[in-house]
Amino acid sequence: MRCHVTPMLGSRRLQQLQATEIDALYVALAPKLKPRTAHHVHVVLGACLATATRKGLLTANPMQRVEQVPSPGESDHGMALDADALRKLIEGFRGSVLFPIVAVAALTGARRNEILALRWTDFDAVNKTLRIERAIEEIKAGRSFKAPKTERGTRTITIDNDLVALLTAERGKHLRIMAGVSDSDTVDLSLIKLPEGALIFPSPAGELDFTRPRDPHAVTRGFVRHARKLGFKRLRFHDLRGSHETALLDAGVPVHVVAERCGHDPAVLLRNYAKRTKKADTSAAAVILG
């Protein structure tokens, strides 16, 4: 935000700052920034001025008289792949190091940073579930884990047999690496223990550390490159989540069930869904017309 605000308002004393100057700032930024970025500047600047007012550094907050408040604009709801395209995408990643991550994202609707924070203790092969309890957080000191933002974020997701088999095989690879044995060696994997807090998708950089988080941005970059090779030119990793939600809703799964599965607010889910598909409206018309 500093690079946007400082050139115009950086020399002004806080107590002398006028609402008209903030309006002029927003007008100047409008052709330079995307609507959501300009709105973010407004939110951050407003928070700073509100804090200054509470601490007595300002007698009146000039933000209260600003007239040119930037609109956040229309959110990018991304694209939603249909069932055939989603299957093609998943199969296209088979053999890639990202294949298990892509499969989990497409078949659970979990967020990227939730998937990368999954531990083996969150996987229940018997009951066929994955438990979402944390997400990766980028901080100055590196990467850490944080709890979901809302109560909805903590959830248990039922998975199918194929994903259970995929994750079970992935765990077997980790156990063999831990034991220092090859795939051809016969060994009782139940006797091998992974470190406490071992991640399902740990960082592959250097010597494998089962508890070190993977770089989320590297995952996104790798996904985009490979997806483009498969013909999905504009697909984002986050679109896997939207595709999962859309497929369930198109199939008639109740919205509250989909929202609970994906850790969504039902109203937000429906709004995003409406931007991604016309199938629901078409189905409604068919019902009306008999």
Going by C-beta distance under 8 Å and a sequence separation of 6 or more, which residues neighbour residue 63? 19, 22, 45, 46, 49, 50
Q: Looking at the chain, which residues constitute the CATH 1.10.443 domain(s)?
A: 86-229
State the pLDDT at residue 181. Answer: 81
So what's the pLDDT on residue 155? 96
Cα–Cα distance between 284 and 112 in angstroms, integer?
33
Measure the CA–CA gap between 60 and 62, rounded to whole angstroms.
Answer: 6
What are the residue ranges of CATH 1.10.150.130 in the chain? 2-65
Q: Return all residues near 138 (Cβ < 8 A) that are at least 6 apart.
A: 216
DSSP per-residue string spanning 78-98: -----HHHHHHHHHHTTTSTT
Q: Any idea what the Cα angle at residue 155 is, between residues 243 and 211, rounded to 5°?
A: 90
Q: What is the pLDDT of residue 287?
A: 37
Q: How far apart are CA 166 and CA 161, in angstroms?
A: 9
| Structure tokens, 216 | 């989320």
Nearest-angstrom CA–CA distance, 174 and 162: 19
* Ranges under pLDDT 50 in the chain: 74, 280-290
Q: Per-residue pLDDT tens for 120-159?
A: 999 999 999 999 999 998 887 788 999 987 888 999 999 9
- Output DSSP code: residue 30: T
Is 127 in contact with 136 (CB distance < 8 Å)? Answer: no
Top CATH class, 2-65: mainly alpha
Check residue 282 and give its pLDDT.
47
Q: How far apart are CA 249 and CA 283, in angstroms?
A: 12
Q: So what's the pLDDT on residue 288?
A: 40
Domain 86-229 has CATH 1.10.443: yes
Q: Read off the pLDDT of residues 181-225 as tens digits, 9 standing for 90 and up.
A: 887 778 777 788 999 999 999 998 656 689 999 999 999 999 999
